[in-house]
Structure 1
Amino acid sequence: MKKIINDPTDVVTESLAGFGAAHSDIVRVVDDPLYVVRVDAPVAGKVGLVSGGGSGHEPLHAGYVGAGMLDAAVPGAMFTSPTPDPIVAATRAVDSGAGVLHIVKNYTGDVLNFEMAAELAGAEGTRVTTVVVDDDVAVQDSTWTAGRRGVGGTVLLEKIVGAAAERGDDLDAVTALASKVNAQVRSMGLALSACTVPHAGEPSFVLGDDEIELGVGIHGEPGRERRKIAKADVLVGLLLDPIVADLPFSSGDRVLLFVNGMGGTPLSELYLAYNTARNSLQDKGITVERSLVGNYITALEMQGMSLTVLKLDDEMIELWDAPVRTAALRKGV
């Protein structure tokens, strides 16, 4: 294992200390219990947005804390859900009296711990609603989650819903919008190589030199099948075809196309894949209105990519285009 670390058990806390120092104009890192919050929280009259999950997926979620997106993020240990205590603390820190929405990826630990935190915060008088993101079409069930996993669609949801909260929408409206985005977004990924969790010290799985894992999860959990590597056009089709068929997307739809790197894939390859996916969608009569390409929800240093397609309407386009100022995503400010 070759990593730029000190003690494997201190990676998350040391990394977040650096993150907080580098972006002190946007976020504040609270040590005990551990969470990241925007510097101006709580914002008067504004619905608070809290998300979180295991570390190792950076910039998700701390990188999306700031104006126009999340109000707080709660990181757990590497690939491990945060416990309820820091989730409650983060919820309390962003509650201005307008209520708080929890955005939770569909992994058993995340769902259970955020559920318990919502109950505890509710007992303190905070109104909390929850939306569980489950956009991964690769599997229905796995050893890591009950039902579909929450993956790339989480980033798009946090941006769109964050803009709605920033403009002053109330908790019911923000929650309904989050449910709508989740219902209209689909994702699927593939891995060319495994990742190594620091405290494990060895790759999470082994692929042959000529193999890929199709439908892999963001923790390296298995997908639909293991198969031989192929040209980019073929690989894109293996991801895009199940996505389009699942909603289903159809001719006349307007979409946001998100090509995401898993942490170890060059941008040149991601843009190549984007071009293939965009052309394929256009051939189906589906218009790509908005795009996002890059490493936005990763699995440490895993080589691979995921595709996410979100069906848009006029309101979602307006909210996607709205200003945002976070460490990982900025526009209009």
Structure 2
Amino acid sequence: MKKMINHVDNVVREQLEGMAEAYPELTINLDPYYICRSSQGRPKVALISGGGSGHEPMHGGFVGYGMLDAACPGEIFTSPTPDQMYECGRQVDRGEGVLFLVKNYTGDVMNFEAAVELLHADGINVQATLIDDDVAVKDSLYTAGRRGVAATVLAEKILGAATEVGYTLEQCCELAKRIANQARSIGVALSACTVPAAGKPGFQLKDSEVEFGVGIHGEPGIKKAPYSDCNTTTNEMMAQLLDNTPYQRTVRRWNGSSYQWQDEQWVTSAIEQGDKVIVLVNSLGGTPLSELFAVYRKAAEVLAQAGINIERRLIGSYCTSLDMQGVSITLLKVDDEMLTLWDQPVNTPALRWGI
């Protein structure tokens, strides 16, 4: 293993220290870890996300105007702890409520739920919404149900804009639920990532095969498949994304009126001819932008043939898996409200327009 690190025990701390030096507009707390805006501004709903480190720029790179108020980074591929989320929530609460965006991994869900209960005990109006967009699996080593992956970036942008223009906590929760139900992603790995603490690739692939449906921690997906070329692989990914087999799942949601967790039934929304979508073609860390454009070229062709309208697109490294060679594609079915929010100004280390 050759990486630009010093000691595996200090990877996240030293990277956060460097981020603090690079972006003075951010405040980075080191005990416990969290990243927030240095200037909190006027009262509004505070939007917080987080998860294990190793997926940069998600989530810390999306803290700033028009996106997140704060992010809680765990150790590499490890959930942040409840005390991180609790202290972070207290720090950024402006009196209008706090909304946690949680990727569907067992550790993240349990720890964010604990933080919600702690913040509620302090009298803070708080909610949590699950993002579970990975169509490759319904259950994995890390989660019960679909995994939360790159659609989290799209949710952070749209919901971040909603908080800036004055949406209430309840309105943000309903919008977040729609985003979760209308988003779908799938990833393919050409090679495994190397976690610093392990010092070796997380799995093995032959030169002639890919991991189809890989998770952002290197979890297995649908199958190991022969690799031929970009068009063939992209076609197969798009076929999975456009499969409209209904999928219903049970999600625990914090009931703000009775102050307890309750189960809700969420059903995925079909993407059909005439629909509008945002497309995210995302590098998993080791795939260059030039290859992402080749993937987008084929994905756009497939969508055009299906009569699905691409309204916006995002191509680059947004939700990575350390140094994994691979790509993910995300489709988010959108309406005019979502598009208006998407177009609102944003100013973060990793995403910026309209400023």
TM-score (norm 1): 0.98
In 2, Cα distance between equivalents of 1:269 and 1:44: 42
Conservation of the 8 A alpha-carbon contact between 1:45 and 1:168: no
Alignment correspondent of 1:221? 219
In 1, Cα distance between equivalents of 2:23 and 2:304: 39
Alignment correspondent of 1:172? 170
C-alpha deviations, 1:113-162, integer Å up to 9, x for none? 00000100110111111100000000000111110000010000000000
* 2:74 alignment partner, SS class: strand
Q: CA deviation at 1:31?
A: 1.1
Alignment correspondent of 1:285? 307
In 1, Cα distance between equivalents of 2:182 and 2:39: 32
Conservation of the 8 A alpha-carbon contact between 2:62 and 2:350: yes
Conservation of the 8 A alpha-carbon contact between 2:182 and 2:270: no
Q: CA deviation at 1:98?
A: 0.3
In 2, Cα distance between equivalents of 1:302 and 1:262: 6
Flag structure 2 segments of 5+ consecutive residues without an equivalent.
Answer: 245-268
* 1:237 alignment partner, SS class: helix
Conservation of the 8 A alpha-carbon contact between 1:38 and 1:71: yes
Mapping of residues 1-333 of structure 1, within 5 Å: 1-25=1-25, 27-41=26-40, 43-246=41-244, 247-333=269-355
CA RMSD of aligned residues (A): 0.7
* 1:101 alignment partner, SS class: strand
In 2, Cα distance between equivalents of 1:165 and 1:108: 27
In 1, Cα distance between equivalents of 2:176 and 2:91: 21
In 2, Cα distance between equivalents of 1:110 and 1:238: 30
In 2, Cα distance between equivalents of 1:48 and 1:40: 13
Q: CA deviation at 1:303?
A: 0.3
Conservation of the 8 A alpha-carbon contact between 2:53 and 2:73: yes
Q: CA deviation at 1:264?
A: 0.1
Which AA in structure 1 matches 2:39? D
C-alpha deviations, 1:163-220, integer Å up to 9, x for none? 0001111100111111111111100000000001001111100101111000000000
Alignment correspondent of 2:265? none
Which shows bigger deviation, 283-292 or 238-247? 238-247
TM-score (norm 2): 0.92
In the TM superposition, structure 1's runs of 4+ consecutive aligned residues that sit over 2 Å from their partners are none
* 1:234 alignment partner, SS class: helix
